Structure 1
């Protein structure tokens, strides 16, 4: 029997995709309370680009080399001391922020979410960050009600598509901003498209929106705030416009501080409009049970066919640098997923028009 081999994708230096390295690594051994998993799938998200560029506040203290990989679906192949309730061969999921673009890794048992055996690991991986973010924005942060009028900024992105899909299931009336060429995506997902390059979304709906979800952060969210009705709610969860502008980390942190200060004075502004800042990691730290409950709910929807996240490509470990270039270029038909055991022909990996993934996504997370 061939001895298992561990390979990882690490950031050798901050900057462009050329700073990524595929290297051999020691096989990890689970400590007390940990399990080791053979990685079946790990997401490749635009957030990884911000981490690689040293523009992600949560990883600002990391220095190369370190392993990328925000989320993971794996099969348990070793149990550490004291682990109960899990068995060898069981499939589990976790959100790790870094470390999961690997063939094998260890995880804390208390953080794991069980995954149904009859779902595709690649599709399941797409739910961990983007779809859980969308679910919690809708049901934990905004607590939306059927019939509300909702605007999704960056509607063609991964979180945007999930917001539209889950928002439609919640009975919302939806609008979504996107480039004009992505109008079909927004319309197919049940929302009214708004070409943000040609239309003023602050004037689209007389009286304003009940809720605006904004992961773009252009103009410090001010135009999204202006699009709200009196008493409306702005949920801010990202800042992709600032990442695409390639700000340095210090200036990005100063921008986040400015947004936070702006949040403190909103309660004193006319109209009673509100702002809530959302972070999936902060939400998980405060309410760890919610993350597991919400991800399990999404896994159930996937298992029953109620949702079908788009997988644009299943990427082998040697193709991750090319995958990052595609992430930065945008216009992918769904989400890229690293499958370490897979040897994918480049022609297949490069295809962005597979029948299972007819839609495009933008650069947003």
Structure 2
């Protein structure tokens, strides 16, 4: 009995030690997994400004899409200052954020800050702005400026009789802005394609020629399309800029029947100027943004005919989706290409209810 008892005791001790060892291993693994789960992804957004509704809505879209995944998202406002933007980027790098979005104040000035972040091992995604080719970003996320302009231009072409000359005034944001150039080029291509029946490829080539003529002479014409831009004004992207710019245009160009523009805000101002003079027969088409105020004008059956969809919520969500692929799924950052865009949409009276949100910020 004594020997059997000792044998059983020894066996029990071995089993206890094995159980403790297994339990210990299990506890360590669980603790490590819990620690890994608690590591929260930190994403920074170097936003050029929060002074207008679009940029506020864009920041809100990034924050909400990121927080829905359990991430920490921090927005720093550069207040349209290159110096502030540089400091904000340096802050994100110093605090070792996992990824940075940037909506640049200046296309070229941001390049050094972007490349410094990438050198520190932090991927950078451009959002709603065009970065310089030397900037080593994962990609640029935005609405499709060219394609949106084109689909709005195709719609505009159908709103005039084929025998009628489209005499348009153009409102642009600021000189040299690549986004604005793409939007108006899209409008030109769509109108020329829609009026002449040429191919899309031919329309882009003709739009390039039209744009160059506009740059050289301040006006341009395509006789086959019966389409002319008789003057170009600069509205600095705002309602308060579009209003006086349109007032100046109307002094010398009272016989226009079309207003084209690179965003809604300027054209809302332009519409006010037209209404103040009680002018009729002038149709209005914006390459972007489908902001709430413009959609209300379209819903109301006004002269405001169409706008391109540039939804900041969708752009923000698209950016977060790409960030997740890079940070979580470990997709090669070089695989995304130069740009990633949302789908092109022309918003008109026929489909406006699908996009109108009375509670939208923008």
Classify the TM-score, shorter chain: 0.3 to 0.5
Higher-Rg structure is 2
Tell me the TM-score normalised to structure 2 length.
0.34
Structure number having the greater helix percentage = 2
Scaled by the length of structure 1, the TM-score of the pair is: 0.33
Q: Which has the higher strand share?
A: 1
